[in-house]
Structure 1
Amino acid sequence: MSTAPKLFPPFRAEQIGSLKRPRALLNKRAEFDGGKCTKEELAVLEDEAVTNIVSMQREAGIKAMTDGEFRRHMFFDGVFDNLDGMKYIPPEEIQPHIFMTYVPDVAGFQKLDFKGADTYVCTGKLRRTKSFYGEQFEQLKKLTKPEEHKFLKLTVCAPEWYHLRHGEYAYDKSIYSNDDEYFSDIAIAYQEEFKDLYARGCRNIQFDDPLLAYFCAESMIEGMEEKGVDHVEVLQTYIRAYNKILENRPSDMTFGLHLCRGNFKGGMHFSEGGYDRIATKLFNEINVDCYYLEYDTDRAGTFEPLRHLPKNKTVVLGLISSKLPKLEDPEDLRERIFQAARVIAAGEPKRSYEEALHQICISPQCGFASHSEGNPVSEEDVTKKLALVSSTAKSIWPDA
């Protein structure tokens, strides 16, 4: 049996998910949030914005198109705000002690005295009683060509999103006695959602999970140890959760895992540290097909962790910044891809340089607007960045 990774999807030229939201859409959403317009009126602006962003991706050569996450406030919307058993806690009811301050983004909120923060905790049995992302996928299908539907990419929230943030306060102990029980019901909900999405024609899922990258940050590891939290076991719990979610997955449905170190308002990041600490487990124990990895700055470390990439998986190198408008140099990008291929080829198991190069794709380091306000880049900058992704890929893999 061939060990070559399946490359459909991802494609050689990829984009992560969120794109720059038009100001008109942001204004209309603010009106909707303030009760000044209807959902139908907002949908008109959303459809127009998604239609335009789909055209931009198509023209840039991006095949695994998304809706830019234009129908969300935040990239992680969708799961826990629709899951029965989760309780919303508005900013005015926040109790700081339920936040684990060793988590890098929580530490950022703490500096602001949690002003404007809101969250969810589990107070009841977790059940999926309605679709999380089905409507978004159906709307994207309506605005794309039938032959593109099998390529469309849907980004989804990481399963441990509120667990890491809240630790022992993440769920009611009278409902779940331990983490595995809690994640077992979460896994069932994801399985049901993916079954539904598959029936709708979705074949390309990307988990957005900056939390796994936090395990590369010395600040969080030290903070967990100070609190007596076993960070090794917590990471292993999350790996079990992912693999439970992916049990009995369709063979023709691709699952990718995106890691970054934060992409908040203005492109703010929360943590630093290379993938070395988690590389073996990340690449060999989580049953996904591909990894979208931040690699646009030194804070993500070197390519050395890619030595642990198995032969049957692909890595999408996030070499192009989504935070800054300056365009990267094409020759520098090419050389970094070749460098990564040399590292993979020399890894374990060893493989030829050509095999290693075949396991690589290229993308921006993150989305261009994980938060609704987005990063300090214009729509024109986004267009140029995605075109650079595509042209760089084609210069190395002519059939990209």
Structure 2
Amino acid sequence: MTVAAKLKFPYRYDEVGSLLRPAKLKQARADYHAQKITQADLTQVENQEIRRIVDKQVALGLKDVTDGEFRRSWWHLDFFAGFNGAEFFEPEHGYNFHGEETRKGGIRFTGKIAYNPDHPFFAGFKYLNSIVPAGITAKQTIPSPSVFFPNKDAEVFDNYYDGDFDTFLDDEIKAYQQTVQHFYDLGCRYLQLDDTSWGMWASFSKQTLRPELVPLAKAAVKAINAIVDNKPDDLTITMHVCKGNYDSTWAGAGAYDPVADYLAQLHIDGYFLEYDDERSGGFEPLKKIADNRRDQRIVIGIVTSKRPQLEKEDFLKARIRDASQYVPLDNLCISPQCGFASTEEGNRLTEDDQWHKLALVIKTAKSVWNVE
């Protein structure tokens, strides 16, 4: 196992997690589902492609790297289906995005939600951590617990708890706590929670959160803080607040104002927030978060992962200056607004576009913060 870099994360230039799946990997996955190759054959292709993109991330200069989520079909469903008591299924419809319906996918609770010591994500992280070079940190991403609160719109169905949300929440928290500890025992020191709930709840509201969403927001704060407060001291946990990312489309739009008070209550070490276009609103809500935790870093996602056009460095620097009116510059970082492929379909960019975007993030951050 390599030694993790002794750096503060999120780093000044960082990435959200998912990367575009190469054609070779897509073909191997299709061949596996068509029973033309074995699981071992598919894993071999995954390993080869993960090693390739890890080498590329390191060559670009990133201080932390991911496996691109190359072993997943969905950014979230694959993870929760790995718990005991949950299963993946295909509902009648996909998710409603802006101008597009997604591929079908959902989760059902079929028993008590519980930690699975053989969760497939563990083997994936173990491989990633074994191939990162010395001085580079392997970053693991998993969906946030609030993503799996029973919700028809999110295609998460309770077929076990009979509406007893409190018992479900307690079980979910325990399963997450044990899962996070297992990642840590495997060498993970940088874990990111990906959370669409806050972005969607903000989209459904105006200046304040709609009353019917308040209990869910409070439950999310309880769950996330219970998980983070249980972590080892040298494990960094961040959160990416997402508004939907599928085939370059989006699901939510609106400023963070309605959820800022709740985000400020979370005990996480840093935020990744989407700020690539007008859907995100202004930087003003960041002041509430920054005022609550002086040591917390806020990553503004000012380079879009949805379109191939490359932003201008001067434009990005102006956005950083704007954000620094509400958050001290020393607490800011930058990244792409989201991953490049939250599902295996990926966004409408080429792999070269993806690397150019990440290179621009790195170049801009080095200039602004004078870091290596």
Identity of aligned residues (%): 33
Equivalent-residue separation in structure 2 for 1:234 and 1:220 (angstroms): 17
Aligned partner letter, 1:264: Y
Q: Deviations over 1:112-162 (max 9, x none)?
A: 5x8x523112131111233432111111123222442xx211000121223
**Higher Cα Rg, which structure:** 1
Alignment partners' CA distance in 1, 2:362 and 2:181: 32
Q: Could you report, residue by residue, the CA deviation over 1:288-330 in whole angstroms, capped at 9, with x for unpaired residues?
A: 1100000000100000011112312110010001011111110
Contact preservation (8 Å) 2:77, 2:106: no
Offset of 1:242 from its aligned partner?
A: 1.0
Distance of 1:220 and 1:37 partners within structure 2: 50
Q: 1:24-46: CA deviations, max 9, x gaps? A: 11011111112110111112211
Q: C-alpha distance in 1, partners of 2:206/2:37?
A: 42
Following TM superposition, by how much is the alpha carbon of 1:176 offset from its aligned partner in structure 2, in angstroms?
5.9
TM-score for the superposition, normalised by structure 1: 0.84
Hey, what's the Cα distance between the residues in 2 that align with 1:60 and 1:77?
30
Cα distance, 1:268 vs. partner? 0.7
Whether 1:249 and 2:231 are equivalent positions in the alignment is: yes
The structure 1 residue matched to 2:263, chosen from 257, 260, 282, is: 282
User: 1:170 deviation in Å?
Assistant: 3.2
Match of 2:3 in 1: none
CA distance in 2, matches of 1:7, 1:311: 18
Structure 1 residues 164 and 333: CA distance shift in structure 2, 3 A? farther
More deviation, 25-34/239-248: 239-248
Given candidates 367, 373, 386, the residue that maps to 2:339 is: 367
Letter in 1 for 2:180: F
Do the aligned partners of residues 152 and 315 (structure 1) sit closer, same or farther apart at CA in structure 2, a change above 3 Å counting? same
Q: Find out whether 1:318 has 2:301 as its counterpart.
A: yes
Structure 2: which amino acid aligns with 1:342? Q
Q: CA deviation at 1:57?
A: 0.9
Deviations 1:205-249 (A, max 9, x none): 001112211111137999x97xxx821111111111111222321
- Where is the helix percentage greater, Structure 1 or Structure 2? 1
CA RMSD of aligned residues (A): 2.5
Separation in 1 of the partners of 2:310 and 2:100? Answer: 33
User: Which ranges of structure 2 fall in alignment gaps of 5 or more residues?
Assistant: 1-5
Q: Paired residue for 1:382?
A: 354
2:131 equivalent in structure 1 = 143
Q: Distance in 2 between matches of 1:143 and 1:54?
A: 8
How do residues 38-187 of structure 1 correspond to structure 2 at under 5 angstroms?
Answer: 38-91=38-91, 94=92, 106-108=95-97, 116-132=103-119, 133-148=121-136, 151-163=137-149, 165-166=151-152, 170-172=157-159, 175=161, 178-187=164-173
TM-score, length-scaled by structure 2: 0.90
User: Do the aligned partners of residues 38 and 296 (structure 1) sit closer, same or farther apart at CA in structure 2, a change above 3 Å counting?
Assistant: same
Do 1:334 and 1:396's aligned partners in 2 also have CA atoms closer than 8 Å?
A: yes
| Contact 1:7–1:314 (8 Å) recurs in 2 | no
Q: How far off is 1:90 after superposition?
A: 2.9
CA distance, structure 1, for counterparts of residue 258 and residue 217 of structure 2: 11
**Would you say the 8 A contact 1:90–1:118 is kept in 2?**
yes
Aligned counterparts of 1:161 and 1:117: Cα–Cα separation in 2: 16
Aligned pair partner of 2:285 in 281, 305, 322:
305
Closer/same/farther in 2, CA of residues 326 and 107 from structure 1, 3 Å limit:
closer
Instruction: Tell me whether 1:268 sits opposite 2:249 in the alignment.
Output: yes
* 1:206-245 alignment runs, 5 A limit: 206-218=192-204, 230-245=212-227
Q: Mark the runs of 5 or more structure 1 residues left unpaired by the alignment.
A: 1-5, 97-104, 345-355
Q: 1:106, CA displacement in angstroms? A: 3.9
**Counterpart contact for 1:106–1:165, Cα < 8 Å:** no
